[in-house]
Amino acid sequence: MPRLYGFEDMAHRRVREPEAAVVRQAASRRLEQQSYPAITDWMNAEGHLTTRGGKWRPATLAGLLDNPAIAGLTEDEDGNLVDTGGPRIISPEEFKAIRALRPSNNPDASRADQREYLMPATLSVCGLCAGPFTASPSNSGNRGYRCSPSTAQHPGGCGKVRINADLFETYVAEHVLAELAKPEVSALIGQAREEILAKAAELRRQVENDKARQKELGTSYAASADLSLSAFKAADQELTKRIREKAAQARFFEQVENVPVGDIPDLIRWWKHAPLASKRGLLALMLEQVAVYPAASRGSRTVDADRVSFTWRKWNLPAK
């Protein structure tokens, strides 16, 4: 029986640090909900081999990250996790979080990959009506984005624009990476990232303030007969909407924390193997908005330049 990757011995008492570093990176990617096939693609591309000297497979990696020994744990006969006192490559909390993802991502299934979407609703809009442009599989099950038609629950959308997800995401990635490759842009990434994180922190403060106002509103309604039920509901719903929108924008901005600072020698290679959160973080850093317009013809397998419009982020960096 081969030893467990990351350890020198079968008793899991001595860590093999070069392998342990790989386990930590793989665990980090899994916690970002990157799929097992995507993680093993990265591991194999980086030249990391299994203890038998072979290439990684999704099921092999899933078995490793599901082994409690990597967190200094073991399972008793009732299936409870027990501390062994042994070394920990990842923390017990990280291990449990990875285990919690098991039901939603079978490593042998490609459906999870099929359902990963790069573009968040906070970034892309319909070019015709400016409504949210959200992930929506086609009738055949292929990944796609569309402007949803107006409903009572979600009014405003025109429902007239749809685009294939693979074509759209590839087009966006090509333009973002080309912009980042410019020396004058890449040199400012570190400063720009701090600026966006500051915006996220300000949004979080606004969310907390709105929550406090919402609580005060409820107290006022309970204590006073001057505030009608209809007025209370209207104000409460408006605050709830603001809290939800600001929190979503803050989460989107906070993803820039995952963008590497400094020179990236091969942007294309980095993008191919980066976790989804890192990719979204780069979009948050580079773009204010992406608008999508109708295709010139039905069934088009290309994205014309006049179909997607980019609004690039303008960073408020100090003049040099």
Which domains are seen in the chain, by residue range? 17-113 (3.90.1750.20), 117-204+244-320 (no CATH)
Position 264 scores a pLDDT of: 58
Burial class (CB in 10 A: 0-12, 13-18, 19+), 136: middle
Contacts of 61 by beta carbon, 8 Å cutoff, 6+ apart = 26, 36, 39, 40, 43, 107
Letter for the amino acid at 150?
S
Position 260 scores a pLDDT of: 66
Position 51 scores a pLDDT of: 92
CA-based nearest residue to 58, from 17, 19, 112, 21 = 112
CA atoms within 13 A on the CB side of 226: 4
73: left (phi over 0), alpha (psi -120 to 50) or beta: beta
pTM for this structure? 0.55
Letter for the amino acid at 191?
Q
Digit-by-digit pLDDT tens for the chain (320 residues) are 578 999 998 889 999 999 999 999 999 989 888 889 889 988 998 899 999 899 999 989 999 999 999 999 998 766 788 999 999 999 999 999 999 887 544 444 444 444 678 998 789 999 999 988 888 877 777 888 999 887 665 677 898 999 999 999 999 999 998 888 887 776 777 777 788 888 889 999 999 999 998 888 888 877 877 778 888 888 888 898 888 888 877 887 787 776 766 555 667 787 887 778 788 888 888 899 999 999 887 766 778 888 999 999 887 655 44
Position 55 scores a pLDDT of: 92
Position 108 scores a pLDDT of: 46
Paired tokens of 139: 């009738």
